[in-house]
């Protein structure tokens, strides 16, 4: 169970919330952990605004005059940082309302994360804040940092030297913040905002996501999430971010039952169906990662703004061993390593030592020890520029920085390295392809190296392992961005409501067929017979062999009760089967049956599953895979949150492990993927036409043979 949000908080309001020019620290004390850190962080980040300590038991705190309550403010402050115990929060909010303070951070725990009593207490807090027009971040929240505008409302000690840049960080776990700040400092990952959400009583993840999409200082949004509320809004915002060129990178906890249990204990909210979450994030162009390091390094790379048009990578290194590792990791990440063009190969052979092997990845064979350039550049820099002119690649991965001193050397060497980095900067600017710097490992660069890198706009991917992973993510994100507009159009193509919606429970197959027919789903012909004579007549019209199936809303799984007879080849067999199927149906259905469906028997083909269920977070979700007996056996299913377009469904089919079967493996029938995708799309439209009444719609099997596609069976369940 989760506490409902107060309302969506508009980005324009959050502009003011996260950039206060005056603030009060309530519960201020020179000794208390939270308030002491909150005050010390202000000069550390460069805050120059008004600060007012509030404590009824102190006259002076932090060397400043202290007031007893917010009611004693001469004029309202922009934000109250409330470092008071849970029992005092209500009185503080009353004081804030009376003083005209409209924004507050509440650090106290003991609310929705602590059980039913805490949830009720949080609801009361929200109601009280709403009455006074106060917007709350938290509770159970250490606060936020606005690095762009030099503002801190944060109660844990922040390290010095936080780099300013384009990565906005959103966390549902405040305790992770400090280590993420230290990692960002170590690897020069520039930050714009760092926002901890706490219990999200008012300001929720989707609100902050919308704010950061609109924030001009933020280029990439990195999120640590334990659960996703407002799934539909979250995905719509992800589409907006993709269209405007802002990447979202998510570390989503709760991938396993143990992780879900831990998330529930921490936040009081269930993590959700993991397979659907993974599909939804991938579908929305969100980069999903598995570690904090991967989260920050991927965000740092995407913030550099490289235009990676594809995954064709050239590698220039001084280490043959590194080339071997990079080749393996490139394969893992779906990055290609094409051969050099004839022209590039000839140029490299003329420049490199005779014993060098000219191949990609390229080991430059100690060229820096046998050649001179006549400038501060080293020969490897020249090689990187040569490779950057090869039109067969999308980018160059350049590992030519291991000789840069980590601490400041003697003046002569210092000046040479400074001059070299200036030439590398110029080389990268004029190179036709992006030249991406990378280090051998994830170790922090030393102070001298870090300074000259920063002075020349050089950001170093931290190591082969995380660096190649981040590059793979960046290439895939760029591909998703190219697909953003077609997907956005698909989201707006919703069907008209079905006239027969409103029924409660399981539909009969005949009712389900009418729904599918309204959406244009190709159906196997069928006749609903109410006598053996009608069944035989229908079979004669269709031609033998035929199938008989009992038709009743109460019987969802007809074969389980003997309600299906296959491969009937004569009138006598049809008459006998009719009696048996009807008797089985009457025995199983307390409210009677509609009749017996007669359908022609189809020859062997490929049987697909097209199913739609309703996920509690993201809503109607499509599952596509092999149907018939293979659904439970292979569990080879691709998922997508609706709505989607036929081309996306076609890609879902192509992603199945069973793709060779769809292509006619071992002499079997192949299917027309485009026709199958169109039929599945129409099934999804039928499901969406039921609106909020939808519980499940399943077509299993969807029979495909060459260019023929037909739904052979349908299950529909509705009800609020």
One-character DSSP codes across 443-512 = PPPPHHHHHHHHHTT---B--HHHHHHHHHHHHHHHHHHHTHHHHHHHHT-PPPPPTTTT--EEPPHHHH
Could you tell me which residue, 273 or 409, shows the higher pLDDT? Answer: 409
Give the model confidence (pLDDT) of 492-504 as tens digits: 567 888 876 678 8
pLDDT recorded at residue 556:
84
Overall pTM > 0.85: yes
Alpha-carbon distance of 184 to 190, in angstroms, equals 7
Q: Are 521 and 683 in contact (CB under 8 A)?
A: yes
pLDDT recorded at residue 516:
97
pLDDT of 34 > 50? The answer is: yes
CB-based contacts of 653: which residues, under 8 Å, 6+ apart?
A: 608, 624, 638, 659, 662, 673, 676, 677
Counting residues of the chain whose pLDDT is more than 90, the rounded percentage is 84
Could you give the domains of the chain?
A: 1-155 (3.40.50.720), 313-461 (3.40.50.261), 525-600 (3.30.1490.20), 606-718 (3.30.470.20)
Alpha-carbon distance of 646 to 654, in angstroms, equals 12
Q: State the DSSP code for 544.
A: S
pLDDT recorded at residue 265:
43
Alpha-carbon distance of 394 to 111, in angstroms, equals 51
pLDDT of 333 > 90? The answer is: yes
Could you tell me which residue, 501 or 47, shows the higher pLDDT? Answer: 47
Average pLDDT, the chain: 92
Q: Which stretch of DSSP H or E encloses residue 395?
A: strand 395-399
Three-state SS for 31? coil
Phi, psi at residue 426, to the nearest 5°? -65, -40
pLDDT band for position 665 (cuts 50, 70, 90):
confident
> Taking residues 368-385, what's their average pLDDT?
94
> Taking residues 36-58, what's their average pLDDT?
97
Structure tokens at 165: 């840049």
The residue with tokens 């960046």 is 474
pLDDT of 262 > 50? The answer is: no
Could you tell me which residue, 486 or 673, shows the higher pLDDT? Answer: 673
656: left (phi over 0), alpha (psi -120 to 50) or beta: beta
Q: Is the bond preceding residue 643 a cis peptide, omega within 30 degrees?
A: yes
pLDDT band for position 613 (cuts 50, 70, 90):
very high
> Taking residues 432-449, what's their average pLDDT?
95
Q: State the DSSP code for 88.
A: G
Helices 673-688 & 509-518, crossing angle to 10 degrees? Answer: 110
pLDDT band for position 460 (cuts 50, 70, 90):
very high
């Amino acid at each position: 169970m989760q506490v409902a949000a107060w309302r969506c908080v508009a980005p324009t309001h959050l502009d003011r919330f996260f950039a206060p020019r005056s603030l009060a620290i309530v519960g201020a004390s020179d000794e208390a952990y939270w308030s002491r850190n909150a005050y010390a962080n202000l000069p550390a980040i460069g805050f120059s605004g008004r600060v007012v300590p509030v404590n009824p038991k102190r006259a002076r705190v932090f060397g400043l005059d202290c007031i007893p309550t917010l009611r004693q403010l001469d004029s309202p402050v922009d934000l109250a940082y409330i470092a008071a115990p849970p029992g005092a929060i209500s009185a503080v909010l009353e004081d804030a309302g009376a003083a005209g303070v409209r924004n507050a951070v509440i650090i106290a725990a003991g609310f929705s994360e602590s059980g039913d009593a805490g949830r009720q207490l949080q609801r009361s807090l929200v109601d009280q804040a709403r009455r006074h027009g106060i917007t709350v971040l938290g509770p159970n929240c250490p606060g936020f940092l606005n690095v762009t505008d030099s503002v801190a409302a944060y109660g844990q000690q922040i390290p010095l030297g936080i780099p300013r840049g384009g990565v906005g960080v959103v966390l549902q776990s405040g305790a992770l913040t400090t280590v993420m700040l230290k990692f960002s400092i170590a690897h020069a990952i520039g930050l714009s905002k760092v926002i901890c959400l706490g219990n999200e009583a008012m300001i929720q993840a989707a609100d902050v996501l919308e704010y950061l999409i609109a924030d001009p200082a933020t280029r990439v949004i990195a999120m640590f999430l334990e659960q996703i509320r407002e799934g539909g809004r979250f995905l719509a915002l992800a589409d907006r971010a993709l269209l405007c060129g802002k990447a979202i990178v998510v570390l989503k906890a709760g991938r396993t039952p143990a992780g879900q249990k831990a998330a529930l204990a921490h936040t009081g909210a269930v993590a959700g169906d993991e397979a659907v979450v993974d599909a939804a994030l991938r579908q929305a162009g969100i980069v999903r990662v598995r570690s904090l390091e991967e989260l920050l390094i991927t965000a740092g790379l995407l913030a550099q703004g490289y235009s990676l048009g594809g995954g064709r990578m050239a590698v220039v290194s001084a280490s043959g061993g590194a080339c071997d590792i990079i080749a393996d990791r490139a394969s893992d990440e779906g990055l290609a390593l094409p051969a050099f063009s004839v022209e590039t190969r000839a140029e490299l052979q003329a420049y490199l030592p005779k014993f060098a092997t000219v191949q990609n990845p390229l080991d430059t064979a100690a060229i820096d020890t046998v050649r001179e350039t006549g400038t501060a550049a080293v020969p490897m820099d020249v090689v990187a520029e040569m490779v950057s002119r090869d039109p067969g690649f999308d980018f160059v991965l350049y590992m030519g920085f291991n000789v840069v001193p980590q601490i400041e050397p003697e003046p002569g060497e210092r000046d040479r390295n400074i001059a070299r980095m200036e030439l590398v900067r110029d080389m990268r600017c004029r190179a036709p392809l992006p030249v991406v710097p990378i280090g051998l490992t994830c170790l922090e660069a030393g102070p001298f190296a870090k300074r000259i890198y920063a002075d020349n706009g050089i950001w170093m991917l931290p190591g082969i392992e995380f660096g190649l992973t981040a590059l793979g993510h960046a290439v895939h994100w760029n591909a998703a961005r190219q697909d953003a507009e077609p997907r956005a159009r698909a989201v707006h193509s919703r069907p008209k409501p079905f006239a027969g919606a409103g029924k409660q429970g399981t539909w009969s197959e005949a009712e389900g067929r009418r729904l599918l027919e309204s959406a244009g789903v190709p159906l196997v012909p069928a006749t609903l017979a109410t006598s053996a004579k009608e069944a035989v007549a229908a079979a004669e019209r269709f031609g033998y062999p035929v199938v008989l199936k009992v038709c009743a809303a109460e019987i969802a799984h007809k074969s389980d009760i003997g309600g299906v007879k296959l491969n009937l080849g004569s009138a006598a067999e049809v008459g006998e089967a009719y009696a048996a199927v009807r008797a089985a149906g009457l025995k199983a259905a307390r409210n009677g049956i509609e009749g017996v469906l007669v359908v022609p028997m189809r020859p062997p083909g490929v049987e697909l599953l097209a199913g739609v269920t309703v996920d509690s977070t993201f809503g109607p979700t499509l599952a596509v895979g092999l149907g018939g007996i293979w659904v439970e056996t292979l569990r080879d299913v691709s998922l997508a949150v609706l709505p989607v377009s036929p081309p996306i469904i076609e890609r879902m089919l192509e992603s199945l492990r069973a793709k060779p079967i769809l292509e006619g493996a071992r002499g079997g029938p192949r299917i027309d993927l485009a026709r199958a995708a169109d039929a599945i799309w129409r099934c999804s439209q039928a499901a969406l036409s039921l609106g909020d009444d939808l519980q499940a719609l399943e077509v299993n099997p969807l029979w495909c043979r060459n260019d023929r596609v037909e739904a052979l069976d349908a299950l529909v369940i509705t009800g609020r």
